[in-house]
Structure 1
């Protein structure tokens, strides 16, 4: 690091002779080019796997094996054996899991050392001594890291969406509410990646050692990721819809809705009771039980397929807001810590 400063920017005079900002960007590139290359390699590998696997998926769909399958969560079975027929979506799910883990990886391996490495080694003093301000030193590093993060995460989310589309919301494919699809695609992937970068950068500035910052970043980003997954399952941030049907006829199929698992019965006064009070399918027994207990309808709670975007934009707002807040705190602390 010190040699690169002496033999590069300082020797060429780029930090001294009227090109301070360009010199700072050049130094940021020198320090981060391996990580930029790793991100490009990851993206290229994901795209190659997606092209290959999606081609096989389309071949299977065009074979006619799935022509009799309808939409909905119920398994589609082979007419001759009764066994379920499924597409091989495991590689697609692996990409989704990688996208979910992206903020943790970016935060630990990019964000934490971004300022922390220079601070630990003391090499930032050599840069600041050449006339570079703290703001320029920080901005050049965060600009390159953030631009690469947005590009890589956005393209990875796009690759997953393109790969997923032929099998989206089908019994033989992958439903929108599967965590690898819901959290591994869309704009929330970009916001989550930026949050990981911001969290790692702040902790790298605060911690005395880069390894300590990496450990703290792992805990913070991992806990935030798990907390958001929990909020999806509990519908903490996106409330489910209540669907009502008469007990005298079969209820409409749920289709692509994401059920909360909360079913029940409704009295004339509007009270909601547990479905086990009348645990019968539609028919005479159910009608008799409902009449005996004064129930007038059934209900269940679920999120419709349109709520995919509600989840996406809610997560994006939360994670993007956290990323902006953590970045602002980092800027405010620069003078005290550097």
Structure 2
């Protein structure tokens, strides 16, 4: 290791060691709590619990049976905020610190081109970001697996699982790094770059979560039951909360038009108003990967655009 890459390592080694320490601490936490989770599941206390979102209760007193999944959700929350942290504390100073202090002039005077100066720093940071975010994602998935999509565990559509357990989390972390790098290149002060990075990454995270709940990019499916037959079980699907009734012509009305769960009242109401079927809208568990790859393409594409913008602005800003 020599030249610009050696200098990049010297400047980023503390951050890389911090990333390794975070990953090691998360691994120890996952091993400890997953072992306790497996011990609880092997006790037989949860053997009668059916899959799905309905709460499982203890036979003797009817109290809900729950596992201690708070640490698991905490790890998922860390993965969710990782793009903000990486963007502010890794991306913003990546070029911004040298520009603020003027030390980049000394580096460029040694025969290092602007492109080498940028590439070495960003490439090393991108590798560290990928390893950290990817490692945390794998730990989350491994830890969650014994109680995945159970009433006492964590469902695939919960924010910590949907955002923090797949390739989209790595793309989001790289987006945060790219946003911080561009902000550090544009701003005159690192603190200003950190503030702009916080704003950009936080707004993007909010928009991604909104798109999930609005089903903007992954539309739900409609599940229909003819007549007053029981509706298809919800199971592990992610409901939109949209329930309704269908007429013979296909018109969809709110479920409140016949607000009866079943029985003679429901039958009489549907007959009176000409309803022939009931429906609800939900995303099946298989849509998890649709959400993941949609977010990965979106956030990864934004990251590439920001990196390209940084590369094009090097000559003007450095």
Smaller-chain TM-score range? over 0.9
d(CA) in 1 for partners of 2:263, 2:42: 40
- The 5-angstrom pairing of residues 30-45 of structure 1 reads 30-45=10-25
TM-score, normalised by the number of residues in structure 1: 0.93
2:229 matches 1:249 = yes
Confirm or deny: 8 A CA contact 1:264 1:273 kept in the other structure.
Answer: yes
Confirm or deny: 8 A CA contact 1:247 1:286 kept in the other structure.
Answer: no
2:295 matches 1:315 = yes
Match of 1:299 in 2: 279
2:121 matches 1:141 = yes
d(CA) in 2 for partners of 1:132, 1:103: 30
d(CA) in 2 for partners of 1:300, 1:265: 9
2:190 matches 1:195 = no
Query: C-alpha displacement at 1:283, in angstroms?
Result: 1.7
Confirm or deny: 8 A CA contact 2:228 2:278 kept in the other structure.
Answer: no
d(CA) in 1 for partners of 2:304, 2:317: 19
Aligned counterpart for 1:153 among listed residues 133, 137, 140: 133
Query: C-alpha displacement at 1:189, in angstroms?
Result: 0.8
* 1:22-55 deviation line (CA, Å, top 9, x unaligned): 3110100000000000000000000000000000
d(CA) in 1 for partners of 2:255, 2:272: 14
Match of 1:283 in 2: 263
Query: C-alpha displacement at 1:253, in angstroms?
Result: 1.4
Query: C-alpha displacement at 1:115, in angstroms?
Result: 0.2
* 1:218-273 deviation line (CA, Å, top 9, x unaligned): 01001101110111111111100000012322222110000000000001110100
Match of 1:169 in 2: 149
2:314 matches 1:334 = yes
Match of 2:61 in 1: 81
TM-score, normalised by the number of residues in structure 2: 0.99
Aligned counterpart for 1:100 among listed residues 55, 64, 80: 80
Runs of 4 or more, structure 1, over 4 Å off, are none
Match of 1:12 in 2: none
Specify every segment of 5 or more residues in structure 1 that has no aligned partner in the other structure, as ranges: 1-20
Confirm or deny: 8 A CA contact 1:242 1:299 kept in the other structure.
Answer: yes
What secondary structure does 2:288 align onto?
helix
Query: C-alpha displacement at 1:282, in angstroms?
Result: 1.9
d(CA) in 2 for partners of 1:72, 1:140: 48
d(CA) in 2 for partners of 1:240, 1:87: 30
Confirm or deny: 8 A CA contact 1:76 1:171 kept in the other structure.
Answer: yes
d(CA) in 2 for partners of 1:216, 1:43: 27
Aligned counterpart for 2:31 among listed residues 51, 56, 64: 51
Confirm or deny: 8 A CA contact 2:231 2:279 kept in the other structure.
Answer: no
Match of 1:258 in 2: 238
Match of 1:120 in 2: 100
What secondary structure does 2:243 align onto?
strand
- The 5-angstrom pairing of residues 219-238 of structure 1 reads 219-238=199-218
Confirm or deny: 8 A CA contact 1:108 1:215 kept in the other structure.
Answer: yes
**May I ask how many residue pairs the two structures share in their alignment?**
318
Specify every segment of 5 or more residues in structure 2 that has no aligned partner in the other structure, as ranges: none
Larger radius of gyration: 1
**Root-mean-square deviation (Å):** 0.8
